[in-house]
Amino acid sequence: MSQVISAKVSIQIPDNFELINKEDYQKLKRESTFGRTWNLNDLRKWCGNKSPQWLKENFLENPKYSREMQALMDDRYLVHRGSKGSPWLFKATKMQQFLEDHWSEFNW
């Protein structure tokens, strides 16, 4: 004869933690920009499939943002090699923050 023992377990969750289901967690990981590097096509997708020309005119080569773009280059968050292929590389989190900061200024 087997015995069934039931026990109550209580787990304390700190206020600064949030429980989410595994599917939502996997989706967040896939969509996260943390630690990622973008090329120009990745940036285009993030901006709603705008053309490379649009990206250049609106911020990458726009004189209005030249100091910010240069600062990103100086800090190696933006790399522009000026060669064929994929000459642009971006630190995704830094570029995403730039876009958030200037969202209303672009000609969407």
Domain spans in the chain, listed from the N-terminal domain onward: 36-103
Q: How far apart are CA 90 and CA 103, in angstroms?
A: 17
Rounded to two decimals, the pTM is: 0.69
What is the per-residue pLDDT for 42?
Answer: 94
Q: How far apart are CA 38 and CA 66, in angstroms?
A: 20
| Residue 27, both tokens | 């989706």
Q: How far apart are CA 55 and CA 44, in angstroms?
A: 8
Q: Are 89 and 79 in contact (CB under 8 A)?
A: yes
SS3 at position 86: coil
Local confidence pLDDT in tens for the 108 residues of the chain: 678 888 888 888 888 888 889 998 888 877 788 889 999 999 999 999 999 999 999 999 999 999 999 999 999 999 998 777 668 999 999 999 999 999 999 877
CB atoms within 10 A of CB 40: 18
